Chain A
Amino acid sequence: MNIRTARKIGFFSTMFTVMKKELLDFSRDRKTLALTLLMGPLIYPIIMLGMGKLTEMRMRTQLEKPLEIAIVGKERAPNLVGFLASQGITAMKAPPKDVEAAIRAQDADVALVIDKDFGKDWAAGTPARVSVVTDSTRRNADIPVGRVTAALETYGQAVGGMRLVARGINPGVTRAIGVDRKDLATPEAKRGVLLSVIMPLILLILAFIGGAHLSMDTTAGERERQSLEPLLATPAPRSGLVSGKMLAAACVGVTSLVLTLLAFKLSANLAGGGMARMMDVSFLAMGKMLLVLLPLVIIGTALLTFISANAKSMKEAQAHMTWLLFVPMLPAYALMAYPLKDTQLWQYAVPFLSQNQLLGKISRGESPSAEQWAVYLAASLALAAVLWLAAVWRYKQEKLAISG
């Protein structure tokens, strides 16, 4: 015996030994592996293509289909009804008795009520009243209501113009300003707006807790399975042990991110031209996004490792997932309620907000300035380092080793 003299094992060799073992262990757990790695990449195209499809369907059916609406008192304004019909808006043969009730019950999207005195007012040249009955909180009524109001306006202007002409006045004089609105957004681009809100969110969540299973399993799970105590009784430095575990979780997180970004690129190409115009999906942009997300992966794994090391059981560690899932979403929701210009530097030092702004910038094809990059990387790497130190410190505590 004692042929081998005891030797020191360094930080890095410990870290790589532990990382290799954890990845080997994880790779043999096929189901968890598949779920972890493929969930993000699969969900993304489904959202992108599925949501696009839905928007498209709605546009097509509601914009182009002849619209049949309830018109109360159509006999009072035959010309108007005829004009509407020429615009593809026809009157129902048998309109419901109580149109307001019908709209409340969502049987109809929009209804027109032509005033009793319509004929009299019309003849007198005073405004003849027509009411558009609708429920503005119902989003699927937006398009029909828009079509009906637009048609009414056109009709009103046309008739008004003719009246002026009949009196020898140029109708142009009533229009002091000619306002024309041009909405250049194509339906694809509009879909892109929605996705540009969702995409950073999905990437943030994925980066933050993508490796969660592994971080929890290798600390809280390992303690529960009673293999942590023998591990901590070895001379391997604790900092190396915990770093190896975190590195393994980070590897898994990054792999799943890369797969998601690739799936994102693929589905953007599949979804057609508007999307690619709206969002930058070049490999350079993907690389930049990955650089933005990398510090977040480290922050996530370090935080989770620290939490798991503090938890008494795997169950307790998993209970933290609820709020952890919400944290990355907070800035996105805050930005929806209170949009911030992404120019001030302080924003790039705030975790989650900074990633949100940077990802948004990059996906719009803009380039963050060197200053913004510097502030972001310094702040996020500093936070990652602090959390890493906390996890290492926790691993050096006596309490961690003792299970049950």
Chain B
Amino acid sequence: MIVAENLRKTFPGKGKKAQPVVAVDNVSFTAHDGQITGLLGPNGAGKTTTLRMLYTLMQPETGQVEVDGFDATTQADAVRRVLGVLPDARGVYKRLTARENIAYFGKLQGLSDAEIAERTRLLAAALQMEDFLDRQTEGFSQGQRTKTAIARALVHDPRNVILDEPTNGLDVMTTRGLREFLKQLRAEGRCVIFSSHIMQEVAALCDRIVIIAQGRVMAEGTPDELRAKAGTENLEDAFVQLIGTEEGLHA
């Protein structure tokens, strides 16, 4: 379970006398185990910054993050061990094979060789990556790279999974496969958070949706709750009304 409370983050503005930019302002939400929580918002809404605070790469200025009861600031190591993260930056080492990429992260998570081999087998099957598992990742397609990055993020079998725009740049078939994979993670009882700027995708997958725009949480709830809140039948209309723009409706 991941709990975010009153997160705030500002960045220094560029140039002299520039005002600091408030990237995330008072963001709170809770992501439960066995559920997929979607962070929905247009580009530049502060989704990536919020996620970075969740996976301990950034310190929030105010507020706190708790993952499975561990505090992200004071117990960052414990949080990192129970988290699997697919960051916005998902570069893989191009001179290593997909399997070696995964094994490297397994080692850094403290797994034994046998555990790494077993997890790699399971993840490769679930992500359908067996046929390119032993190839060097140089020349991989975007989908193959993303799958490699997801597998390496989950090699230590984490209870909590954070994915930053996982379907970005993927074709329809790969996206479908990925959705099935996320549902599988949910069925295993994990807490899954993913961010997206595509409404349809969030609607298709999520148990709970957190709508973020301009660094603030505009609305939070199940799809039904959001429809009720906006007073519309249709989730798309609800989204437009809640963030006050049509941006992000069309992928």
Contacts and interface: CB of A to CB of B under 8 A. Distances in A.
Interface of A: 1-4, 6-9, 13-14, 17-18, 21, 24-25, 28-29, 222, 225-236, 398, 401-404
Interface stretch (B126-134, B149-157, B195-203, B236-244): B149-157
A1 B191 CA distance: 12
9 contacts: A9-B108, A24-B100, A28-B96, A226-B89, A227-B92, A228-B89, A230-B149, A233-B56, A233-B80
Contacts of B248: none
Contacts of B108: 9, 14, 17-18, 231, 234-236
Contact of B87 (A2, A13, A225, A230): A230
Contacts of A8: 77, 110
Contact of A402 (B52, B77, B159): B52
A159 B82 CA distance: 102
Main SS at interface, chain B: loop
Given A21-B96, A235-B110, 12 more contacts: A6-B156, A7-B110, A8-B110, A17-B104, A17-B107, A24-B96, A222-B91, A230-B90, A234-B80, A235-B80, A236-B108, A398-B59
Closest 9 CB pairs of A and B: A226-B91, A227-B91, A226-B89, A6-B81, A9-B110, A235-B80, A229-B89, A236-B108, A28-B95
A220 to B, nearest CB: 13
B105 interface: yes
A228 B82 CA distance: 19
A4 B57 contact: no
B85 A226 contact: no
Contacts of B91: 222, 225-228, 230
Contacts of A25: 93, 95-96
A4 B153 contact: no
B109 to A, nearest CB: 6
A245 to B, nearest CB: 13
Looking at chain B, what size class is its interface with the partner chain? Answer: 35 or more
A397 to B, nearest CB: 11
A229 B57 contact: yes
A8 B94 CA distance: 28
A357 to B, nearest CB: 41
A1 B122 CA distance: 12
Nearest to A232: B57
A41 B40 CA distance: 58
B66 interface: no
A230 B101 CA distance: 11
A352 to B, nearest CB: 34
Given A1-B190, A24-B100, A233 B55 contact: yes
Interface in B107-153: 107-111, 115, 136, 149, 152-153
B247 interface: no
A166 to B, nearest CB: 90
Nearest to B89: A226
Contacts of A227: 89, 91-93
Contacts, number: 101
A229 B188 CA distance: 27
Nearest to B164: A229
A359 B228 CA distance: 80
B25 interface: no
Nearest to A22: B93
B58 interface: yes
A171 to B, nearest CB: 82
Contacts of A28: 95-96, 136
A225 B95 CA distance: 12
Contacts of B109: 9, 234-236
A4 B89 contact: no
In the complex, which of the residues A4, A24, A225, A401 has the most CB atoms of chain B within 10 Å of its own CB atom? Answer: A4
Nearest to A227: B91
B78 interface: yes
Contacts of B152: 230
A402 B100 CA distance: 24
Contacts of B95: 25, 28-29
B88 interface: yes
Interface in B53-100: 55-59, 77-78, 80-83, 85-96, 100
Contacts of B77: 8, 235
B189 interface: yes
Contacts of A2: 157, 159
Contact of B90 (A6, A9, A13, A226): A226
Nearest to B185: A1
A4 B78 contact: no
Contacts of B80: 233-235
B105 A234 contact: yes
A1 B157 contact: yes
A235 B82 CA distance: 9
A403 B81 CA distance: 23
Nearest to B82: A6
B156 A4 contact: yes
A229 B157 contact: no
A155 B115 CA distance: 93
B189 A233 contact: no
